[in-house]
Structure 1
């Protein structure tokens, strides 16, 4: 499985808009990714309690790893994971209709986290600090194949077969030179 495509958006140059107006608080990227990972682990626990997931839950913790040598930050979970189709649906299609006007009108008036939540943009905060983001995910669904999504912050992405062997998602951020402060353990611990 290998596929290349374009992220579906409703406005031109969305990433510069996100970076300029929504993310004056650069630390938000890590909180957003960890929050998403926690949500994924809670979902698998809920499915298990309903009898819709009968596999071994194992440890459902979230891990954050900093690799200074590779200049990466990795967020791993053992949550529900995603199929390639789910990645395309939830990551590539940004619901952004009317967001530009909203951001312009309220950029100085409110909490950036509130704006981000309204448009499902939390994941994209990763591009504030990363030149490339990779998602490697394996869905809890029986027979699911691992899928890997790669994007350099443009609207172009690639999906191919992933390497993940266990249920969940691994998100790897390749940190930009101007954001290397986030490769310090104390900085990451301070955010979390």
Structure 2
């Protein structure tokens, strides 16, 4: 694909100032929008596999990664869903179906459900510009022969798009945060917001900090392919007690352990309580669910189990 630049096709003037004004009070909602997009991409790829139109790689596990980088002042959302071709980026990103900007502000300025407005207008991706001076997309479609695409926009109506270097199927969105919104590349703030909006999404969501110095200890048999091993910890040899067989004592020594770079943290529950049968749930699960949802750590007087679909 030849390098390309141009103007976003927008049916109303001053779209970005309007979006920013709309999201001023709830600008953390961009987390929900971008993570939802990633979850949708994973769900669609799985559906294509079920329909026989695509074969998932062996051992495939759909996921969305949220990566904070305070040093670079960036926030990254990465999924291994179906990705996009250059034509799809052109259709879904470069053309914004939006009209009636003045009516938009007037209609919703007093509404209490303002967190739903962006979804109504198909502007979920563009909520990223509430907090970012610049946004990059790197994507590779699942389709045979597809080429990777790199897209950039600095929050105006100008964009650039060219061949990318992404080698794995999926989409990575990188936000270069503005100075007023650096709190969102703080690991603790990110965890708080993701739990607030995305605790029960159907795709696993992981949070990590880029170039973290934090470590954790695991048993050797628990090692995963992506783990970065920093040190092998040999077990201490156990000396035989008086009268104990030496071979028996050696057989009870602890297994070798590994010090690894801290793994990404799983944030959500893909099978929330309401999707299970009451007979499958324990009292502790009910209490844990109540505490997470209501942020109340007292024991509730009673609870009612309702089976329902995901509420989104």
Task: Give unmatched runs, 5+ long, in structure 2.
Answer: 195-312
Question: Partners of 1:114 and 1:82 in 2: how far apart?
Answer: 25
What is the DSSP-based 3-state SS (H/G/I as helix, E as strand, rest coil) of the residue aligned with 2:96? Answer: coil
Question: In the superposition, relative to structure 1, how do residues 167 and 17 fare at CA in structure 2: closer, same or farther (>3 Å)?
Answer: same
What is the DSSP-based 3-state SS (H/G/I as helix, E as strand, rest coil) of the residue aligned with 1:48? Answer: helix
Q: TM-score, normalised by structure 2?
A: 0.60
Q: Which has the higher contact order (CA 8 A, sep 6+)?
A: 1
Task: Give unmatched runs, 5+ long, in structure 1.
Answer: none
Match of 2:57 in 1: 56
Question: Partners of 2:101 and 2:121 in 1: how far apart?
Answer: 7
State the shift of 1:110 in Å: 3.5
For the pair 1:153 / 2:155, whether they are aligned, the reply is yes
Question: In the superposition, relative to structure 1, how do residues 106 and 60 fare at CA in structure 2: closer, same or farther (>3 Å)?
Answer: same
Match of 2:181 in 1: 179
Match of 1:33 in 2: 34
What is the DSSP-based 3-state SS (H/G/I as helix, E as strand, rest coil) of the residue aligned with 1:135? Answer: strand
What is the DSSP-based 3-state SS (H/G/I as helix, E as strand, rest coil) of the residue aligned with 1:27? Answer: helix
Question: Partners of 2:50 and 2:11 in 1: how far apart?
Answer: 38
Tell me which of 81, 88, 94 is aligned to 2:96: 94
Question: Partners of 2:46 and 2:133 in 1: how far apart?
Answer: 33
- Could you list the per-position Cα deviations for residues 80-111 of structure 1 after superposition, in whole angstroms to 9, with x for gaps in the alignment? 10011101100111111235303322221131
Task: Tell whether the 8 Å contact from 2:85 to 2:139 is kept in structure 1 after alignment.
Answer: yes
Q: How does 1:4-153 map to 2 (within 5 A)?
A: 4-56=5-57, 58-153=60-155
Question: Partners of 2:47 and 2:14 in 1: how far apart?
Answer: 38
Task: Tell whether the 8 Å contact from 2:140 to 2:166 is kept in structure 1 after alignment.
Answer: yes
State the shift of 1:183 in Å: 1.4
Question: In the superposition, relative to structure 1, how do residues 173 and 70 fare at CA in structure 2: closer, same or farther (>3 Å)?
Answer: same
If you compute each CA radius of gyration, which structure gives the higher value, 1 or 2? 2
More helix by share: 1
Question: Partners of 2:159 and 2:87 in 1: how far apart?
Answer: 14
The range that moved more, 156-165 or 20-29, is 20-29
- Could you list the per-position Cα deviations for residues 122-142 of structure 1 after superposition, in whole angstroms to 9, with x for gaps in the alignment? 111101111000000000110
Task: Tell whether the 8 Å contact from 2:26 to 2:115 is kept in structure 1 after alignment.
Answer: no
State the shift of 1:30 in Å: 1.1
What is the DSSP-based 3-state SS (H/G/I as helix, E as strand, rest coil) of the residue aligned with 2:93? Answer: helix
